[in-house]
Amino acid sequence: MGRTLKEIAALVGGELSGDPETMVTGVAGLKEAGEGDISFLANRRYAPLLETTRACAVIVPLTVEAGKKPAIRVSDPSLAFAKVAGIFHPVVIRHPKGIHKTAVVARTAKIGKDVGLGPYVVVEEGAVIGDRTVIQAGSFIGHDTHIGADCIFYANVSVRERVTIGNKVFIQSGSVIGSEGFGYTRVDGVYKLIPQTGTVVIEDEVEIGANVAIDRARFDKTLIGRGTKIDNLVQIAHNVVIGENSVIVAQVGISGSTHIGNNVTIAGQVGLVGHIEVGDGAILAAQSGIMRDVPPNTMVFGYPAQPHHQAMKMYAAFERLPDMVKAVNELKRKVEELEERLKQRG
């Protein structure tokens, strides 16, 4: 079922230009769009595609002109497009209702109202699960762990003992919360595990991707602050503290006892050594190696990481290095020739 451009503009609260009765029947990217599709532009590098796209209309930033193409201008095109996509391709997820007959729930566990436990979920002694929380098949909740209300854990999530998880926490499949911290001491040439007696605290509205490992602290707690979003395949070591509303992208590794502030962005494949501090609002660019403290509101890049503008100059110089070597060798040859002539004159 189609929607008019006028209806879509009202849905996303955008400024409409072009025929308001333009009929939209689907959504697609600028390259893939066909007749009847609405598309969007979030990154200005793709602006030339506005001239060639077959989309019947586009959603663009407030400052972008779409030419003759019908358009809706909004402050956040990605968010607006997501709302529109939800109309034409609604996501239907079926969560378990009630406690499945194969679930194993300890006698002393406390289960809230309208909780859903899927097949083969295990809830151990003393665990508490808040109202309306859903835990999918094959997941494990350790003893004395407290989970808040309105959480969703997908299949095969493991939450170890004595962990505390807040409300509206979302965990994708395969993640492990409260695993043993990686702490060893060498005794007579053999590594011995140092007991990790602490815990993990995950505050409200945190989202954790697939196959994330968050280690319990050696003492005290590993902490993930309210509203922080963690992508797939991230390793967070013991006693790490992450502030509120930070974003951690795939394949990041954070070593033990590192403290990360609020509103920090850590891009893909960044590695951080232990016992350092990353200030509020910092941005760590992809594949950077962070070996020392990062001040607040600073963007760093490289291995080892440098202030972004400085790193860009260094990498620009690296690109010119072959030509510079060639020039130095040519100068060296000329100097040698001059020295030889001087010797002959002497």
Q: What are 240-297's pLDDT values in tens digits?
A: 999 999 999 999 999 999 999 999 999 999 999 999 999 999 999 999 999 999 999 9
Mean pLDDT value of segment 14-43: 94
The domain segmentation of the chain, as residue ranges, is: 3-88
Tens digit of pLDDT for each residue in 145-204? 999 999 999 999 999 999 999 999 999 999 999 999 998 999 999 999 999 999 999 999
Assigned token pair, 325: 């070597």
Q: What is the DSSP letter of 87?
A: H
Q: Identify the active-site residue in 238, 259, 308, 309.
A: 238
Q: 2 Cβ partners below 8 Å, 6+ apart? A: 23, 24, 25, 36
Look at the pTM and tell me if it is higher than 0.75: yes
Q: Which residue has the tokens 């599709």?
A: 37
Tens digit of pLDDT for each residue in 222-240? 999 999 999 999 999 999 9
Residue 3 sits at φ, ψ, to 5 deg, of: -130, 145
Which listed CATH number (3.40.1390.10, 3.30.565.10, 1.25.10.10, 3.20.20.140) goes with 3-88? 3.40.1390.10
Residue 172 and residue 207: Cα distance in Å, rounded? 8
Indicate if 238 belongs to the active site. Answer: yes
> Which residues are registered as beta bridge partners of 140?
122, 158
Residue 294 and residue 264: Cα distance in Å, rounded? 11
Average pLDDT taken over every residue of the chain: 94
Residue 182 and residue 254: Cα distance in Å, rounded? 12
Are 39 and 30 in contact, with CB atoms under 8 Å apart? Answer: yes
Q: Residue 66 — pLDDT band, cuts 50, 70, 90?
A: confident
- CA proximity to 210, closest of 254, 256, 136, 153: 153
